[in-house]
Chain A
Amino acid sequence: MALSRARVLPVAPPRARRPRPGLFASIVRHWADYLYVAPALLVMVLVIGYPVVYTVYLSFFETPPRSGDWVWTGVGNYTETLGSARFWDTTRNTFYWTVGSTALAFVIGFGAALVVQRQFVGRGIVRAILLIPYVISHVAAAYVWRWFLHSDYGLVSGTLLDWGVIERPLVLFDSIRWVMPTVILVNVWKEFPFVMIMLLAGLQTVPDQLMRAAKVDGAGAWNRFWHVTVPHLKGVILITTLLLFVVNLNSFTLVYLMTGGGPAGASQLWITEIYNIAFRSLRYGEASAYSVVLFLIMLSMGYFYVKALTGGGKSQRRPA
């Protein structure tokens, strides 16, 4: 992402972050600069920093629902969480959900971007229609799909019965076998436009001359795609998949409102499980321990994310 641009830029000036004797003096000299970022940082510290610290702290306590007395249990909550058989079932579901949704949404979204980038009549309208699911709220999407795939009155089940394709109503959300593929499908419906819009933006930056040159040299469509488009979009692809992955790992509303984790925990994810432990069973301590585990996984993802975003730390700087 940063590579193509960095090549034409002059050599970056020395970084300000390098430790040197006058660090304090430099902070004082730039005091006014901090005023610009202060409001943003204040909000972030309040709404992010505090909860992180608090969650970690809470995870070492037993928090009985009915009393305010917290009991120190050390790593008790962690061993309990990681030791339960349920945890590993939930982990499997979460893995299935996250990887499945991300991969499918990415492939479909990329395909959509490539097709929609072609010149054709009505392209604007097609593009607009494909973007709609992205902005529909998760709550509305959950109910629309529940109704659409309703086993008794839904359009899919009813129509297939009518045509004689199936003999019994199509049970999807209440079937242990089909519930995960179904919720993943709904999630992909909601997410592929995000991939499409990101890659569409990326495709606009592929230089025309490069494409034309490849074509003149006799490269076929597949070769042009694989050797010109993909390498050029590497940065965007990386960021998009990472963002999707994290969003899916965090995704709560869709599954919670469509299945509530059921039937029999067949679609229970980490995040819905944490919600249930905290707000149904009111075991905050255990939920916090669970959160910390999840948080550590995300943080390692975050490391790659930041690396990808900054293109290996090559942020350009212009003195004011």
Chain B
Amino acid sequence: MSANLSTGVGASGGSTADAGLDGRDARIAAAIATPTAPSRPAVRSRVQPATRRRARRRCRPTPIGVLGWVFLAVLLFFTVVPMAWMVSTSLKSSFAAIDQPPRWIPAEPTIVNYTKLLNPDETVGADFLRYMRNSVWVSTATTVLGLIVAVPASYAFSRFAFPGRDTLFFSVLVRNMFPTVVFLIPLFILMRRLTLVDSHWSLILTYLTFGLPLSIWLLKGFYDNIPVELEQAARIDGATRFQAFYLIVMPLSSPGIIATAIYAFIQGWNEYVYARTFIQSDRLLTMPVGLQKFFTEYASDWPGLMAASFIMSVPVVVLFLALQKYFVQALTEGAVKS
């Protein structure tokens, strides 16, 4: 904060925004910005404790500051080492992987585990690539359908005043309370009645309800924050209600839409229990279940398993990291603030 203030002022030579905020801040700002020495002591005497402490902080790190850096270092270590070990193992041969003592960096790195998994001519590779295709399809369908369902619903919850609106909104949110495993039996029976067992649609339908509460909650927050006057203006200018929504509200809420889309996609990509229960034939399995199958079949092939875990993680990690700023923005604008 202190660094912020002084550099900002130093650059612009007395920012008006700062001056407008607070009399005392303005005085400090002026003091720091003035190059002449004599004015300094005068100001310092007026706001003594804060200025002095601030000056000290800039020269010498405070105990809390140091503690923070140590904490961050430990946390980074805790986060990174298991993942690094996954990557390191995936580049080893099966023999090298069980070397004792363990080598942090493979002595003879090999990409054979990856080529095996991504080669459609080998049995393992063909299976793996099929699981991946299934996962892509299920996650994409879940995401798209989720948006089609969530966008109008959250818009209605935000804008319209129909009877029972609040009750309905809460009942959607209560979804998060329900234990997933508890629903396995009845849902399995339901899917059998709908003849959806052993079809990707059973998964898509189920995953849809995972994402919906968060999507609706986030998007409603967004719509609440968009002034209704904008739409009214568009309506006066001759836009239909749909046009007003599509041309005005949609672009303004796009961070929320992107965030909910990522969330739905990741959920679909990673889900394990339902996929394991609903899908029975091998050719329809999704990646998490495929990974587990790989583990039970090739129990000692840890490098292969680590390579498979790595490949499986890359798409969602890249997607999430690329779009995480929308996620934070959506939480800030949509959920946390509203």
Which residues does A use to contact B, with CB under 8 Å?
Answer: 1-2, 5, 15-17, 23, 26-27, 30, 33-37, 39-41, 43-44, 46-48, 50-52, 54-55, 58, 108, 111-112, 114-116, 118-119, 126-140, 143-145, 147-148, 150, 152-155, 158-159, 161-162, 189, 197-198, 200-202, 204-205, 208-209, 211-213, 215-218, 221-222, 235-236, 243, 246, 249-250, 252-253, 257, 271, 274-275, 278-279, 284, 287-288, 291, 294-295, 298-299, 301-302, 305-306, 309-310, 313, 315-320
Contacts and interface: CB of A to CB of B under 8 A. Distances in A.
Given A139-B270, A197-B331, A246 B101 contact: no
A48 B76 contact: no
A30 B209 contact: no
Given A153-B97, A295-B182, A147 B78 contact: no
Nearest to B319: A135
Given A140-B309, A318-B158, A284 B185 contact: yes
B178 A2 contact: no
Contacts of B289: 139
By Cβ-Cβ distance, the 10 closest A-B pairs, closest first, are: A36-B156, A137-B270, A162-B101, A302-B177, A201-B331, A51-B186, A30-B162, A291-B182, A140-B309, A54-B186
Interface SS of chain B: helix
A197 B331 CA distance: 8
A144 B310 CA distance: 9
A139 B331 CA distance: 27
B107 interface: no
Contacts of A278: 184-185
Contact of B181 (A150, A162, A246, A274): A274
A153 B102 contact: yes
A45 to B, nearest CB: 9
Q: Which has the most chain B C-beta neighbours within 10 Å: A235, A291, A316?
A: A291
B247 interface: no
Given A55-B182, A114-B68, A139-B288, A128 B324 contact: yes
Contacts of A159: 101-102
Interface in B160-207: 160-187, 189-190, 205-206
A140 B167 CA distance: 39
Contacts of B183: 47-48, 51, 55
Contacts of A275: 181, 184, 273
Interface residues of B, number: 120
Contacts of B270: 135-139
A259 B256 CA distance: 38
Given A43-B212, A136-B317, A153 B302 contact: yes
Contacts of A309: 173, 217
Given A128-B321, A138-B272, A306-B174, A37 B76 contact: no
Contacts of A130: 75-76, 79
A275 B276 CA distance: 12
A116 B152 CA distance: 36
Interface stretch (B18-26, B30-38, B112-120, B122-130): B18-26
Nearest to A318: B228
B91 interface: no
B239 interface: no
A51 B165 CA distance: 23
8 contacts: A1-B336, A37-B152, A128-B321, A140-B291, A144-B309, A153-B97, A154-B102, A218-B50
Contacts of A51: 182-183, 186-187, 190
A298 B169 CA distance: 18
Given A40-B149, A197-B328, A291-B179, A221 B64 contact: yes
Contacts of B177: 246, 298-299, 301-302, 305
Given A221-B62, A301-B177, A189 B209 contact: no
Interface SS of chain A: helix
Contacts of B316: 135-137
Nearest to B166: A17
Contact of B266 (A127, A135, A147, A257): A135
A148 B84 CA distance: 10
A252 B288 CA distance: 14
Contact of B336 (A44, A154, A198): A198
Nearest to A294: B179
A299 B189 CA distance: 23
A17 B163 contact: yes
Given A135-B266, A159-B101, A37 B156 contact: yes
A155 B81 contact: yes
B98 interface: yes
B162 A115 contact: no
B80 A129 contact: yes
B332 interface: yes
A205 B313 contact: no
Contacts of B62: 221
Given A40-B216, A44-B172, A138-B270, A16 B161 contact: yes
B305 interface: yes
A47 B79 contact: no
B136 interface: no
B55 interface: no
Nearest to B330: A201
Given A135-B316, A218-B53, 8 more contacts: A17-B164, A33-B162, A143-B309, A144-B85, A154-B102, A212-B5, A216-B47, A318-B224
